[in-house]
Amino acid sequence: MGKNKTPLDEASVFRLTKILKKFNKGEDKAYNFEPNLSRKQRAFVHKECLKMGLISKNKGSGNQRHVSVRKIKVKGGDMPGKNLTDVAFSKRASLVLQDLFSSYPPDDEELEEKEIRKYSGKTAKIRRKKDDIFSKPMMSAVEIAEKVKELASKREKHPKLRQINEERSKLPIAGFGDAITSAVESNQVILISGETGCGKTTQVPQLLLDYMWGKGEACKILCTQPRRISATSVSERIAYERGESIGDNVGYKIRLESKGGRHSSIVFCTNGMLLRVLVSNSRSKREDISDMTHIIVDETHERDSFCDFMLAIMRDILPSYPHLRLVLMSATLDSERFSQYFGGCPIIRVPGFTYPVKSFYLEDVLSILKFADANHLISANATAQDQDQELTEEDPEFTEEELELTEEDKIALDEAINLVSVEGGSKVHNYQHSLTGLTPLMLFAAKGRVEEVCMLLSFGVDCDLISKDGKSALDWAVQENQQEAVNMIKKHIESSQANDGQQLLDKYIASGNPDIIDNVLIVQLLRKICIDSNEGAILVFLPGWDDINRMREKLIANPFFKDSSRFIIIPLHSMVPYADQKVVFKRPPLGCRKIVLSTNVAESSITIDDVVYVIDSGRMKEKSYDPYNNVSTLQSSWVSKANSKQREGRAGRCQPGICYHLFSKLRAASMLEFQVPEIKRMPIEELCLQVKLLDPDCKVEDFLLKTLDPPVSEAVNSAVRVLQDIGAFTQDEELTELGEKLGYLPVHPLTCKMLFFAILMNCLDPALTLACASDFKDPFVIPMQPNERQKATAARHELASLYGGQSDQLTLIAAFDCWRNAKRKGLEGNFCSQYFVSSSTMNFLFGMRMQLQGELIRHGFIPDDVSSCSLNANHRGILHAVLVAGLYPMVGRVLPPKQDKELTTIEAANGCNVRLSGRSVNSRLKPKQLEECPLIIFDAITCGDMGMYIRNCTVIGPLPLLFLATEIAVAPIKGNVCSDDDDEESDDGDACDTDGDEKLVVNKSGGKEEKVLSSPDNSVMVVVDRWLSFRSTALNVAQIYCLRERLSEAILFKVMHPGEVLPPALGASVYAVACILSHDGLSGIPAPAESKSVHSTAINEPIPVVLQQQFLFHY
């Protein structure tokens, strides 16, 4: 191997990565590495900086050459007043504005900068359908006794239930039943630290229910799980164990559906669902919590942000509800720390019930695969013999004779020593007797000839060979009690294995990137397991849905695995419909092997009881957020030691198992003990809003300091700024009336505001799709074959053409609409095949849309008949504004390429340049000049091996941004400066005034007043968020400003009084905004290339005048 290709050692990788991560999360702006880094180490730093969005540069020379790293500077100033994009209204839009302001001219009060109205503490009367699933069953002692009797009768009559009851009694948790119920009776909070397989998840709720029923008391036991699949599967398992149907005494409530009601004594839900109940209880003083008797929080080790926030709330409210009991459960809980958090509450430790699990690491896996003919599952010593161990034709008899004599005669033994030392070589050293299979090493080890054993070991003799009776040289030494020989051979084997494994590991790391999932290696390992064993399910842990899909396609394409009668391949992910997920729990037919491809959902949330083999990729998808650069990412990262232990434990549920960790022992030792809590690595706008809903008088940061691991101050400040930008908070961090309503729906506040805007614009249907799709990746499938990938790309562009061809988000809307139409006609399969769309993902989105629409109806934001809420669903200009309402402030500007073949580069608001993904329909968008650079709105910035990139975006014009951006400021263009010095220092805030035709005043959003003393046709520069500049007339800017104010008022009125008609001025203004967006919303967007459409329906027809009634008088 050449010198340049030797790999960077893992220890250096860990050390340098740790330094960069610490710097990236800290407040320092720059960091200089020590000058003693090697060339490879410097190259690694540059590569990691590219992935993290940092700027790195080599400095100095010779012994002083080092790497300097700095963070991207956030933009602070606006663009110069040249190369500005013009913003002007078309003739049709101008007529609409003329009609509007003739009928409803702006008054002085409307034009002044107004404070956003604070939340009064009183909730507007909005009709809601009560959900009583969290209320305690209304059962008398007599009715409870009848249920207990009925359950006992069932178990007596049905052998299956008797068998289940016997199995339950054998679980480790069963022996702690009295201790748990006694602790719950005596303490308001207890911790159950139960190891994998102890039965805590399914048995503790039943123990508490049986205990309460035994006292003749009704109860409501609420059990939380971090994921929907675990909430549903565990509740169904408990109902099955009790011989009931789900929805009877045991139910669940998740985002998509619910089973059960007030009559259900045990209810499972997600952490987010319980959090909303707690916040709602505080806000409306309902009796939901008063009706609960027990709250069980399971899998607390996962530390999702909802869970941490929920625990902080419960710690505060428990004193007010002395009847309420809180039970925390986890397999890998940091018990002492949680106990201290709850005032030193008792801990009950329950041992697990798992069979022994043998662990292999990457170096071991590479050794196993190297010897493909050896069965690694039968014996570690069963290594196949190499062909060069055979002797020539003239040697066998002589050597056999010597070996036979050595067992009986010391002289012959000495001759054998001479033979192997003088006439040796690998053929003699490793020769095996034709009848007994004995080797020289076995003989010398059995006789305790330590010097000869040492000599043979130095010759590189094979210690793994076995005799006919199945014994190795080590076994012979042990049998004959030759302890010195035993120690010597053991030490040699361990050293040899370590050296071989390390060499293979070094070579493997040099040939690829260990951070990337090696599908080829996993397929080879799966094949090896299936060859060496006949039964036992295999569970493969992969980071995300894309990885699962790629692995599944690779296995199906492999001749060894494509026989569906021998192998059943099951993906397990939250995107998989629940009906399909349940297949994973069924045992396959005899002779068929089950291979489960799963994310970390199978770590602890669910149990697949026939798993014997686990392949742990060591990776997981983890969301992270950099509050200093305002960049959110979702990327694959290494798991923690706790995650790794959980995955390992999945292999020993039904029999002794094996876990293959696809990372080295060194990396395993360097992993974090626990995963970083989500609250410290995620945007927390939703939590900050919930804090204010919980207690409007409390400072957000003060409350979050109560959590177990509070987020950094900058993350809180960033979240508060976002909530201020969308009108949820005032500048003084007070909750607004709009903010109070944004907390009603189970979606992010930005998404919620987008829905409210879409309702106002009569554009709800596509907004529902966008809102639900924001939690998931797009439904487009990437085929394995190159020619199929080209067809998939063409199909995606064909769908994109329905909405102009320059939007990934609208492409998804087009795909969903076409899928829905195809499904109605019974052509779903044909459509999904032709356009490479995932049917399961579409069905999941369909269900989520129905649920979200139901929530809007339940809260009274839309009528039961939603047919009139999407009259403008085909207007691209309005759709672009809906996108801006939901994705702002994720705005960027496309930059001209420096080279013809360069990927499209986007300039983001924080000043960094990011790439556009090759999968985007806009990937070929390359403006030639600066003045042609279009704007885009995007969903998130993702970090990859080649740096930061944007996956999905839409090219937008200036108008949607000017209507919905947080801040617009006006300045004179150079050469056209105002001359009125008297008012230069005015502090009146943002205002616009038309005092006759001679004078126009427009103020900066957050600064001092600036007058433009000329005619309304005077050219001015409009600066959005202090970095995007446009040119327009003073009159146009004044009209835009007035429409912005009225639009905000209309949104607030609609959410505060959803059943009422907009006041005439607001109704007419909303209609005007819709017309302007329909006519001019696409102005400033470069024309896309011609492309064929999947159907001939015209998109973006102008709004008929008759639809004005929909804005003025409709619901």
Q: Where are the alpha helices (DSSP H) in 104-223?
A: 108-111, 141-157, 159-169, 177-186, 200-214
**Longest pairwise C-alpha distance within the chain:** 126
Edge-to-edge strands of the sheet including 593-598? 357-360, 657-661, 611-616, 537-541, 593-598, 567-572
Average pLDDT estimate for 167-194: 93
Given pLDDT bands bounded at 50, 70 and 90, which one contains residue 390? very low
Average pLDDT estimate for 1086-1113: 45
Q: What share of the chain is helix, strand, coil (3-state, %, to 5)?
A: 45, 15, 40
Average pLDDT estimate for 1047-1053: 89
pLDDT, residue 1107, reads 37
* Rounded Cα gap, residues 709 and 303, in angstroms: 10
pLDDT, residue 304, reads 84
For residues 1093 and 344, the model is more confident at 344
pLDDT, residue 453, reads 85
pLDDT, residue 1095, reads 41
pLDDT, residue 319, reads 93
Q: Is 516 exposed, middle or buried (0-12, 13-18, 19+ CB in 10 A)?
A: exposed
pLDDT, residue 13, reads 85
pLDDT, residue 577, reads 58
Q: Is 69 exposed, middle or buried (0-12, 13-18, 19+ CB in 10 A)?
A: buried
What is 614-683 written as a DSSP string?
EEE--EEEEEEEETTTTEEEEEEEEPPHHHHHHHHHGGGSSS-EEEEESS-HHHHHHS-SSPPPGGGTS-
Contact by Cβ (8 Å): 877, 958: no
The verdict on domain 396-430+437-510 having CATH code 2.160.10.10 is no
283 pLDDT above the threshold of 80: no
pLDDT, residue 514, reads 72
pLDDT, residue 383, reads 33
- Write down the domain spans for the chain: 3-70, 85-121+959-1112, 141-350, 396-430+437-510, 513-676, 683-735
pLDDT, residue 289, reads 81
Question: For the chain, what percent of residues have pLDDT higher than 70?
Answer: 79
* Rounded Cα gap, residues 801 and 1091, in angstroms: 6
Given pLDDT bands bounded at 50, 70 and 90, which one contains residue 933? confident
pLDDT, residue 384, reads 30
- Give the range among 74-83, 181-190, 1060-1069 with minimum mean pLDDT: 74-83
The tokens of 369 are what? Answer: 């695969």
Helix (H) or strand (E) holding 993: strand 992-995
pLDDT by residue (tens digit) across 462-473? 887 888 777 888
Q: What is residue 585's DSSP assignment?
A: G
Q: Strand (E) positions, 723-822?
A: none
Contact by Cβ (8 Å): 593, 535: yes
pLDDT, residue 75, reads 52
* Rounded Cα gap, residues 541 and 547, in angstroms: 10
Helix (H) or strand (E) holding 427: helix 426-429
621 DSSP β-pair partners: 636
Average pLDDT estimate for 760-768: 95
Average pLDDT estimate for 41-56: 85
- Give the range among 213-217, 358-362, 579-583, 650-654 with minimum mean pLDDT: 579-583
Given pLDDT bands bounded at 50, 70 and 90, which one contains residue 988? very low
Contact by Cβ (8 Å): 719, 709: no
409 pLDDT above the threshold of 70: no
Q: Where are the alpha helices (DSSP H) in 187-324?
A: 200-214, 228-241, 271-284, 288-291, 305-317
Nearest-CA neighbor of 538 among 546, 527, 549, 554?
527
For residues 95 and 25, the model is more confident at 95
941 pLDDT above the threshold of 70: yes
Region for 303 from its dihedrals, namely left if φ exceeds 0, alpha if ψ lies in -120 to 50, beta otherwise: left
Helix (H) or strand (E) holding 913: strand 913-916
66 pLDDT above the threshold of 60: yes
Contact by Cβ (8 Å): 309, 282: no
For residues 575 and 1082, the model is more confident at 1082
380 pLDDT above the threshold of 50: no
The tokens of 17 are what? Answer: 């990565």
For residues 495 and 524, the model is more confident at 524
Three-class DSSP category at 971: strand
pLDDT by residue (tens digit) across 703-729? 999 999 999 888 899 899 888 888 889
- Residue type at 219? C
Average pLDDT estimate for 1071-1085: 93
pLDDT by residue (tens digit) across 658-717? 999 999 998 898 898 888 888 888 888 888 998 998 888 889 999 999 999 999 888 899
The verdict on domain 141-350 having CATH code 3.40.50.300 is yes
The tokens of 749 are what? Answer: 């506040």
pLDDT by residue (tens digit) across 6-23? 567 788 888 898 899 888
pLDDT, residue 238, reads 95
Q: Strand (E) positions, 1003-1058?
A: 1011-1012, 1019-1024, 1028-1033
pLDDT, residue 569, reads 92
Rg (CA), the chain: 35
Q: Do 141-350 and 513-676 share a fold?
A: yes
118 DSSP β-pair partners: 736
* Rounded Cα gap, residues 650 and 171, in angstroms: 16
The phi, psi pair for 1008, rounded to 5°, reads -80, 160
Mean pLDDT for all residues in the chain: 80
294 DSSP β-pair partners: 221, 325
Output the CATH code of domain 513-676.
3.40.50.300
For residues 682 and 1102, the model is more confident at 682
* Rounded Cα gap, residues 911 and 1028, in angstroms: 12
* Rounded Cα gap, residues 20 and 30, in angstroms: 11
Q: Which long-range contacts (CB under 8 A, 24 or more apart) does 374-379 make?
A: 375/531, 375/532, 376/528, 376/532, 377/529, 377/532, 377/533, 377/658, 378/532, 379/466
218 pLDDT above the threshold of 80: yes
Nearest-CA neighbor of 84 among 1025, 1048, 1019?
1019
Q: Which CATH number fits domain 3-70: 3.30.1370.50, 3.40.630.10, 3.30.70.360, 3.20.20.70?
A: 3.30.1370.50
Given pLDDT bands bounded at 50, 70 and 90, which one contains residue 108? low
- Give the range among 411-420, 450-459, 532-541 with minimum mean pLDDT: 411-420
254 pLDDT above the threshold of 60: yes
Three-class DSSP category at 81: coil
- Give the range among 259-273, 808-822, 1095-1109 with minimum mean pLDDT: 1095-1109
Exposure b/e, 201-225, CB count within 10 A at least 16 = b: bbbbbbbbbebbbeeeebbbbbbbb
Three-class DSSP category at 306: helix
Average pLDDT estimate for 839-855: 86
Given pLDDT bands bounded at 50, 70 and 90, which one contains residue 392? very low
pLDDT, residue 424, reads 52
